[in-house]
Amino acid sequence: MFEKYFTPFPIPALALLYTAAECCIDEWTDRERSDINFSSGEYKAVYDKHLANLRKFDSRTKAHGILDSILKDINVNGRTHARVDTMDVTCGDYLSDVEINNAIRESMQGGDGGNKSDSADELDSESDDNGDNGEDE
């Protein structure tokens, strides 16, 4: 149903998986399991660190397609194990940076209860950092 939004597997979703795995590891730091609250208050900084590292890794290795290949493999393996047909998504089916930035700006203007970014300029700098001018290919 939402294949065009989740194929290949999104970088933020991978950062969330890394964050959840780190929480699971944290539960065993004393060699005995203890419950840890997996919440944005507790793990937002961890998520942000993983997301930043993945984006940096992606931008530094983009010419080699390393992260793209990993994300496609995760998607294919997940769909296979879920017994859902794999599919190819053309570039035109991806959300463009412009669409994503517009959604973020709209959310920031909507008064979402303090979940606003420090600067709307970071949206534009993310596109610039990735060498993307925000236009569809």
Q: What DSSP letter does each residue of 8-28 carry, written as one string?
A: S--HHHHHHHHHHHHHHHHTT
Q: In terms of residue numbers, what domain contains 28?
A: 3-89
Q: Does residue 82 share a domain with residue 19?
A: yes
Q: Does residue 81 share a domain with residue 100?
A: no
Which of 59, 51, 40 shows the shortest CA–CA distance to 17? 51
Q: Tell me if 137 is assigned to some domain.
A: no
Helix axes 40-61, 121-129, angle to 10 degrees: 40
Q: What is the pLDDT of residues 14-30, one digit of tens each?
A: 999 999 999 999 999 88
Q: Tell me if 43 is assigned to some domain.
A: yes
- The pLDDT score that the predictor gives to residue 134 is 44
Highest mean pLDDT among 31-40, 43-52, 69-78, 99-108: 43-52
Q: Does residue 25 share a domain with residue 77?
A: yes
Q: Does residue 54 share a domain with residue 15?
A: yes
Q: Does residue 106 share a domain with residue 60?
A: no
Per the structure, how many domains does the chain have? 2
Q: Does residue 106 share a domain with residue 70?
A: no
- The pLDDT score that the predictor gives to residue 67 is 92
Average pLDDT in the chain: 77
